């Protein structure tokens, strides 16, 4: 094999590698930026919900699959939101738990992180009953109801899948809780499906 042939092979391999990297990057970008089409929650707080709604105060509820690693960004954004809205909202993080599962199945790192947020109540949702009442299909779906129990915001509080940082959802909720108007009463939700087979975490936990 002469030097010209070897050079041609190296160039071909390099071009093939660039194509593979480009396709992989494109697929990852599409995955990270494609929301799930969750339906809108009920316009009024469901009467059969067991989640307590405080009288005279807005109520926020976030639905989470405990094994969805990308929802850690949503929990982190909730912590940031609560730091600026203490005393203005009654907040709940509701974790899906299949019936018959052990308690530690639900008590993941996400559960532990949520319990550390001041002003947030954490509870398990057996077989996703509450998630179904609120039409929440995607982990991280957040709904905000006003003091009268009327829906005023629903969607996600991250800009893309697993991405923490400034986003329309968190800013909209913060504005509403401070009595300001917002252009974003609904935002996309990025995360794993709640009522489907268990998502794989980065650590491969089961």
Q: Where are the domains of the chain?
A: 1-32, 58-177
| 93-to-8, 69, 109, 183 alpha-carbon distances in Å | 58, 15, 13, 25
| 205-to-69, 95, 106 alpha-carbon distances in Å | 10, 16, 12
| Pairing of β 151-155 and β 58-64 | unpaired
pTM of full prediction above 0.85: no
Asked if CATH classification 3.40.30.10 holds for the domain at 58-177, the reply, yes or no, is yes
Provide the pLDDT for residue 24: 42
Kindly indicate the confidence band of residue 204, based on its pLDDT and cuts at 50, 70 and 90. Answer: very low
Provide the pLDDT for residue 201: 45
* Of residues 21 and 110, more confidently modeled: 110
pLDDT tens across 180-193, in order?
A: 999 889 999 998 99
Determine contact, residues 46/134, Cβ cutoff 8 Å: yes
pLDDT tens across 89-102, in order?
A: 999 999 999 988 88
Provide the pLDDT for residue 183: 87
Give the range among 16-20, 109-113, 120-124, 155-159 with minimum mean pLDDT: 16-20
Provide the pLDDT for residue 55: 83
pLDDT tens across 34-45, in order?
A: 555 677 899 999
**How far is the C-alpha of 46 from the C-alpha of 15, rounded, in Å?**
57
Average pLDDT of the residues of the chain = 84
Provide the pLDDT for residue 13: 57
DSSP 3-state percent helix, strand, coil across the chain (nearest 5): 35, 20, 45
Asked if residue 2 has pLDDT above 60, the reply is yes
Asked if residue 114 has pLDDT above 70, the reply is yes
Nearest to 190 by CA among 171, 173, 167: 167
Determine contact, residues 153/144, Cβ cutoff 8 Å: yes
Provide the pLDDT for residue 27: 40
State the greatest distance between any 2 C-alpha atoms of the chain, in Å, as a whole number.
83
pLDDT tens across 122-161, in order?
A: 999 999 999 999 999 999 999 999 999 999 999 999 988 6
């Amino acid at each position: 094999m002469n030097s010209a042939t070897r050079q041609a092979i190296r160039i071909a391999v390099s071009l093939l590698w660039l194509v593979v990297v480009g396709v992989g990057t494109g697929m990852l970008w599409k995955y990270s930026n494609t929301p799930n089409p969750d339906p809108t929650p009920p316009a009024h707080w469901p009467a059969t919900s067991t989640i307590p709604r405080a009288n005279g105060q807005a109520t926020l509820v976030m639905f989470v699959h405990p094994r969805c690693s990308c929802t850690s960004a949503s929990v982190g954004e909730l912590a940031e939101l609560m730091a600026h809205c203490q005393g203005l909202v009654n907040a709940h993080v509701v974790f899906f738990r299949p019936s018959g599962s052990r308690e530690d199945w639900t008590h993941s790192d996400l559960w532990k992180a949520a319990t550390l947020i001041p002003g947030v109540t954490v509870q398990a949702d057996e077989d996703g009953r509450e998630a179904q009442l609120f039409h929440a299909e995607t982990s991280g779906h957040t709904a905000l109801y006003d003091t009268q129990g009327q829906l005023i915001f629903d969607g996600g509080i991250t800009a893309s899948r697993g991405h923490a940082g400034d986003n329309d959802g968190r800013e909209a909720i913060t504005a509403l809780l401070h009595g300001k108007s917002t252009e974003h009463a609904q935002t996309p939700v990025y995360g794993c499906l709640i009522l489907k087979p268990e998502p794989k975490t980065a650590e491969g936990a089961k």
